């Protein structure tokens, strides 16, 4: 059963407040990441309060292990978490305890020896090159301002491998005339990514023939924004609206498989590696902090196994 907010002891509340300020200001984590930390650590703090802990220096390794088991089962009153979500929650807990030790609030780190749940390593879902071509061809529902914008948006997502938040967060000045785009990833970390000719042409068409119309709609409402992608009211296009654009294109393309903005990112990486790109180059393009994250794309797909088997085994056909 979840503890009420007023059950938290002042020392726990103060320690949590200080840590969230640290990750937001000193580490420069994004608003979404800080919000996730607040949710995970708020749940942890309530669990500790129910266990009778009034400060971090009272927490034991058993408490951390018990919390991890509780969130996996949902026995603390919250939603049961998958292995991946529980591992994310444990990472937040570890960060808080490391910070507390560095700040002299505790002398030990009770989370140091607690292992994260084992996660099943699954291949990211990627579209075939043909499916991506059909999707992008169906991106524009017509030669309208919204249609030109939608085509430019999806072309840029696939051309750069950017996250949806990175692409809708672009300003006009972030797209250079040198076929490069400046993306801001997690923690506002900047990276420069090349843009292919198809995406450049689509963005140019949007900037010349569509964005001025959308800007005028915003000006009529007293709005002005440097955002690259605008909605029909002249404001920055939201992630939810960009998701709807993608879903509409997938339906028009007749794609029956699940397609999300991250599907285009996975497709970008998979197609680069299949074409012979070095995994560390793909790491840089995706903005992964560790090459280990990128290496999942190097796993052999079932389709590739079948192709090699059919081409090489003497009794395959």
The model's pLDDT over 271-294, given as tens digits with 9 standing for 90+, comes to 998 888 888 898 999 988 888 778
Q: Are 60 and 193 contained in the same domain?
A: no
What are the start-end ranges of the H helices in the chain? Answer: 10-21, 31-50, 61-73, 83-102, 129-137, 145-160, 164-168, 197-209, 211-219, 239-252, 261-274, 279-286, 291-294, 302-312
Other CB atoms within a 10 A radius of the CB of residue 178 amount to: 9
Structure tokens at 106: 């505790």
DSSP-assigned letter for residue 7? G
Say how many domains are in the chain.
2
Q: How confident is the model at residue 114 (pLDDT cuts 50, 70, 90)?
A: very high
CATH number at residue 234: 1.10.443.10
The predicted structure's pLDDT at residue 142: 75
Q: Which of 104, 97, 98, 81 is nearest to 48 (CA)?
A: 97
Q: Are 89 and 138 contained in the same domain?
A: no
Q: Are 227 and 162 contained in the same domain?
A: yes
Whole-number average pLDDT of the chain: 88
The residue among 123 and 237 whose pLDDT is bigger is 237
Q: Are strands 180-184 and 190-194 parallel, antiparallel or unpaired?
A: antiparallel
Range of the domain at 249: 129-307
Classify residue 214: in a domain, yes or no.
Answer: yes
The model's pLDDT over 161-174, given as tens digits with 9 standing for 90+, comes to 999 999 999 999 99
CATH number at residue 60: 1.10.150
Query: End-to-end CA distance of the chain, in Å?
Result: 59
Other CB atoms within a 10 A radius of the CB of residue 305 amount to: 10
Give the integer Cα–Cα distance in Å for 108 and 97.
8
Residue 316 pLDDT greater than 90, yes or no: no
Structure tokens at 136: 């992008």
Q: Which of 269, 301, 271, 275 is nearest to 288 (CA)?
A: 269
Q: Are 37 and 73 contained in the same domain?
A: yes
Classify residue 117: in a domain, yes or no.
Answer: no
The predicted structure's pLDDT at residue 302: 64
Percent of the chain whose pLDDT exceeds 70: 92
The model's pLDDT over 192-204, given as tens digits with 9 standing for 90+, comes to 999 999 999 999 9
Classify residue 178: in a domain, yes or no.
Answer: yes
Q: How confident is the model at residue 300 (pLDDT cuts 50, 70, 90)?
A: low
For 202, how many CA atoms within 13 A lie in the half-sphere containing its CB? 24
Classify residue 290: in a domain, yes or no.
Answer: yes
Asked whether 7 and 50 are in contact (CB, 8 A), the reply is yes
SS3 171: strand
Q: Are 58 and 153 contained in the same domain?
A: no
Cα→Cα distances 179→78, 80, 195, 198, Å: 47, 45, 5, 11
Classify residue 110: in a domain, yes or no.
Answer: no
Give the integer Cα–Cα distance in Å for 315 and 66.
53
Q: Are 40 and 89 contained in the same domain?
A: yes
What average pLDDT does the segment 108-117 reach? Answer: 91
Q: Are 21 and 70 contained in the same domain?
A: yes
Asked whether 187 and 30 are in contact (CB, 8 A), the reply is yes
Asked whether 160 and 221 are in contact (CB, 8 A), the reply is no
Residue 8 pLDDT greater than 90, yes or no: no
Q: Are 259 and 154 contained in the same domain?
A: yes
Classify residue 113: in a domain, yes or no.
Answer: no
Q: Are 257 and 211 contained in the same domain?
A: yes
Cα→Cα distances 57→10, 90, 110, Å: 13, 18, 9
Classify residue 313: in a domain, yes or no.
Answer: no
Q: Are 77 and 35 contained in the same domain?
A: yes
Classify residue 139: in a domain, yes or no.
Answer: yes
Catalytically active residues, by annotation: 163, 186, 262, 265, 288, 297
């Amino acid at each position: 059963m979840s503890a009420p907010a007023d059950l938290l002891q002042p020392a726990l509340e103060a320690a949590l407040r200080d840590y969230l300020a640290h990750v937001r200001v000193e580490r420069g984590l994004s608003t979404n990441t800080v919000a996730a930390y607040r949710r995970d650590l708020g749940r942890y703090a309530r669990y500790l309060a129910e266990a009778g802990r009034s400060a971090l220096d009272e927490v034991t390794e058993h408490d951390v292990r018990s919390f991890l088991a509780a969130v996996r089962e949902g026995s603390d009153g919250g939603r049961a978490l998958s292995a991946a979500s529980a591992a994310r929650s444990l990472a937040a807990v570890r960060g808080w305890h490391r910070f507390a030790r560095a700040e002299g609030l505790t002398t030990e780190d009770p989370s140091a020896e607690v292992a994260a749940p084992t996660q099943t390593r699954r291949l990211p879902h990627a579209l075939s090159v043909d499916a991506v071509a059909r999707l992008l061809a169906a991106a524009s529902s017509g030669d309208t301002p919204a249609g030109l914008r939608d085509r430019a948006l999806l072309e840029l997502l696939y051309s750069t491998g950017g996250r949806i938040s990175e692409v809708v967060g672009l300003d006009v000045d972030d797209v250079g005339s040198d076929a490069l785009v400046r993306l801001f990833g997690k923690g506002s970390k900047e990276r420069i990514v090349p843009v292919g000719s198809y995406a450049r042409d689509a963005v140019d068409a949007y900037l010349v023939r569509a964005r001025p119309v959308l800007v005028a709609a915003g000006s009529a409402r007293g709005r002005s924004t440097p955002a690259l992608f605008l909605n029909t009211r002249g404001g920055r296009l939201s992630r939810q609206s960009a998701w709807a654009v993608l879903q509409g294109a997938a339906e028009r393309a007749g794609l029956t498989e699940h397609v999300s903005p991250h599907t285009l990112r996975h497709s970008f990486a998979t197609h680069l590696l299949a074409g012979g790109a070095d995994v560390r180059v793909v790491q840089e393009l995706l903005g992964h902090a560790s090459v280990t994250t990128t290496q999942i794309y190097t796993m052999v797909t079932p389709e590739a196994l079948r192709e090699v088997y059919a081409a090489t085994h003497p009794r395959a056909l």
